[in-house]
Amino acid sequence: MSERLRLWLEPGAHGYRLRDAATGEPVRWEDERIRVVAAAGVSYRPEALPDASFDPGKRLALVPEPANEHDPNAVAIWNAERTLQLGYVPAVVAPELAGDEQAVSLWRVDGGLRVLIVSADAWVGSPR
């Protein structure tokens, strides 16, 4: 049985870096225990990106859309309150998700957002 993933969010210039809470070591975005994705389709919802509910460190909702006419594997990215949609998990990643993952806004980039996706049982320390 593997140990529960525990991550701290550490402030950076435009968002948060990740640190393993158990070891204190930095966690790279390429780490196999996590996914860091660029939100897709953000340009179709320009009003959403600057909204404070998508600021780095904010919890997000991943909402499967099995009735999506373009992609039945689509997973939408919404703010935690599910009142504003930002975009989608990239199409190449969405089919690999179990459906119960956690998501956190991680890093702002020009015209986009990087999103951390971790398993449901992972612990992600909230920014202070």
In a domain, 81, yes or no: yes
Q: Across 21-79, where does the E strand assignment appear?
A: 26-27, 35-38, 59-64, 75-79
Q: What is the pTM of this model?
A: 0.93
Strand partners, 109: 112
Domain count, the chain: 1
In a domain, 44, yes or no: yes
In a domain, 78, yes or no: yes
Q: What token pair was written down for 102?
A: 């956690």
In a domain, 26, yes or no: no
Q: Tens digits of per-residue pLDDT, 54-105?
A: 999 999 999 999 999 999 999 999 999 999 999 999 999 999 999 999 999 9
Give the model's pLDDT for residue 1: 46
CATH number at residue 71: 3.30.70.2330
Give the model's pLDDT for residue 39: 98
In a domain, 9, yes or no: no
Q: Tens digits of per-residue pLDDT, 17-62?
A: 999 999 999 999 999 999 999 999 999 999 999 999 999 999 999 9
In a domain, 52, yes or no: yes
Domain hosting residue 63, numbered range: 33-120
